[in-house]
Amino acid sequence: MYNKYRKSEDWVRHQETRLLNVDPTAENLPKEYVLGILNNYTCLNEFRHIENYNEKKLENYKSQIWNEYSLKKYLAVEYPLILLESTGVKSEYAEIVSDIVGGLLPYDIGEINAAIVLSPLNDTVIFFSESMYAFIWKYFHLKRNSNSNYAEILYKSMTKYEFLNWKTSDLKVYQQQIDAEFKLSVTLAQLFVVMHEFAHYLLGHLKQVETKLFSFASNSQAHMSYAISREDELDADMLASDLYVAFLKHSFKYNYEEFILIGFEIIRCFAKIEHDIDEKMFFKNKHHPLPSSRMIYMTLRHKQEFIKKGEAELISFLEEGIKTNREFYTYDFNKDLNSEKYMKEHEC
Ligand SMILES: [Zn+2]
């Protein structure tokens, strides 16, 4: 079960309070209020097949601090970790997930991003930025309202730090629209991000010595040395996409193909920003593959699912595209990453 005692918890809290300007000792929120937020913004009651999961979680409320800060951390990173732990991956890997410490990514290096690192105690930690969480909500909000300018609006808001404050505004603006579909879209997008980070772990990328040096000092060499190659990044995407599709098959037996693209949506949005607005933006980090290539390779890896869904034309368009575009980073998107090893069997 998620939430068992993890030894790096203190180190993570220290990074957050040092750089995030959060107050973890802020006063407790009323139980009813916390329950309202959890029911409103998460799908755990539906996914875990445990009746009133959120309410059960709040049973030990008195021993936990539920203030604005802990609630944010829960919604941004712990909640998708709980989903990852409980569905899709085999129980021995679920054990590993339950040992991961979740944290909010400090802004100094955070931007709209997530990261997996080793703590000084050698524990695995996944950080998720608050601005990434805010970005995902805003993205689905703009899409829902058929805002064709969504990439530009999001790009502009990427340049400044968005502090998520649902008490006053940010999440409140979506209040009228939060239905099951909206909530599910946000959840699947978050889950894919967390699966990508977990895939780095499964692929052994954290054993690369550089990641241990990750120190959260804003412009230090340590930060610069947090570098995973383009090939490794794409491998993490491919494995994450396998885990994600397995999760969908497991959770939505009949129409799971409908949900595949939702998980990739944020990368698709970055690809649109790269294409329409600022193509240089994603070249800044030369180790990171371009969002368009990430999107295309993931789609082609799961082409059978897309063809089943009636997207044969799209698939042949993409296949032709990567053959003729010589600048495209060459990558074997069908490579065997031992995905089956990690995933639960699903009945067809
Ligand atoms: Zn990555």
Q: Measured in angstroms, how far is the CA atom of residue 347 from the centroid of ligand 1?
A: 30
What does the pLDDT read at residue 306? 92
The pLDDT, as a whole number, for residue 161 is: 53
Query: Cα of 116 to ligand 1 centre, how many Å?
Result: 8
SS3 of 127, please? strand
pTM: 0.90
For residue 14, the Cα-to-chain-centroid distance in whole angstroms is: 22
pLDDT at 93: 92
Q: How far is the CA of 193 from the centre of ligand 1 (A)?
A: 9
Q: What is the pLDDT of residue 224?
A: 42
Ligand 1 center to residue 31 CA distance, Å? 36
Average pLDDT rounded to a whole number, residues 240-268: 90
**Furthest-apart CA pair in the chain: how many Å?**
61
**pLDDT tier at 214, thresholds 50, 70, 90:** low
Tell me which of 28-42, 64-78, 119-133, 281-295 is least confident.
281-295
Judged by average pLDDT, the poorest of 106-110, 178-182, 253-257 is 106-110
pLDDT at 303: 96
* CB atoms inside a 10 Å sphere around CB 191: 26
121 C-alpha vs ligand 1 centroid, how far in Å?
Answer: 22
Predicted pLDDT at 104: 87
- pLDDT digit string, tens, across residues 159-210: 655 555 555 456 677 878 889 999 999 999 999 999 999 999 999 988 764 5
Residues near 133 by beta carbon (within 8 Å), at least 6 away in sequence: 72, 75, 76, 164, 190
Q: 159 CA to middle of ligand 1, Å? A: 21
**Weakest-pLDDT range from 106-110, 205-209, 268-272:** 106-110
Does residue 279 have a pLDDT over 50?
yes
**pLDDT the model gives residue 227:** 62
Given a cut of 50, whether residue 212 has pLDDT beyond it is no
Q: Which residues surround ligand 1, an ion (CB under 5 A)?
A: 233, 236
pLDDT of residue 213: 44
Contact of 1 with 109, CB cutoff 8 Å? no
- Residue 32 Cα, ligand 1 centroid: separation in angstroms? 37
* pLDDT single digits (tens) 118-129: 887 888 889 888
**Cα(72) to centroid(ligand 1), Å:** 22
Mean pLDDT in residue range 148-163: 75
Where does the pLDDT of residue 79 fall: very low under 50, low under 70, confident under 90, or very high at 90 and above?
very high
> Is the pLDDT score of 9 beyond 60?
yes
Give all strands (DSSP E) within the chain, no chain letters. 101-104, 114-118, 124-128
pLDDT, the chain, mean: 82
DSSP 145-207: TT-TTHHHHHHHHHTS-----TTTSGGGGGGGG--HHHHHHHHHHHHHHHHHHHHHHHTTGGG
Q: Ligand 1 mean position to 118 CA, how many Å?
A: 14
How far is the centre of ligand 1, averaged over its atoms, from the C-alpha of 175 (Å)?
32
- Residue 25 CA, ligand 1 centroid: distance in Å: 32
- Ligand 1 center–CA 200 separation, angstroms: 7
Torsion of CA 250, 252, 258, 259, to 10 degrees: -60
Cα of 60 vs centre of ligand 1, distance in Å, is 35
Task: Identify the weakest region by mean pLDDT among 73-87, 212-226, 240-254, 329-343.
Answer: 212-226
**Interval between CA 172 and ligand 1 midpoint (Å):** 31
- pLDDT of 221 above 60: no
The predicted pLDDT at position 273 comes to 87
Cα(208) to ligand 1 centroid in Å equals: 13
Task: Report CA(236)–ligand 1 centroid distance (Å).
Answer: 6
Question: Distance, CA 214 to ligand 1 centroid (Å)?
Answer: 14
Ligand 1 centroid to Cα of residue 218, in Å, is 19
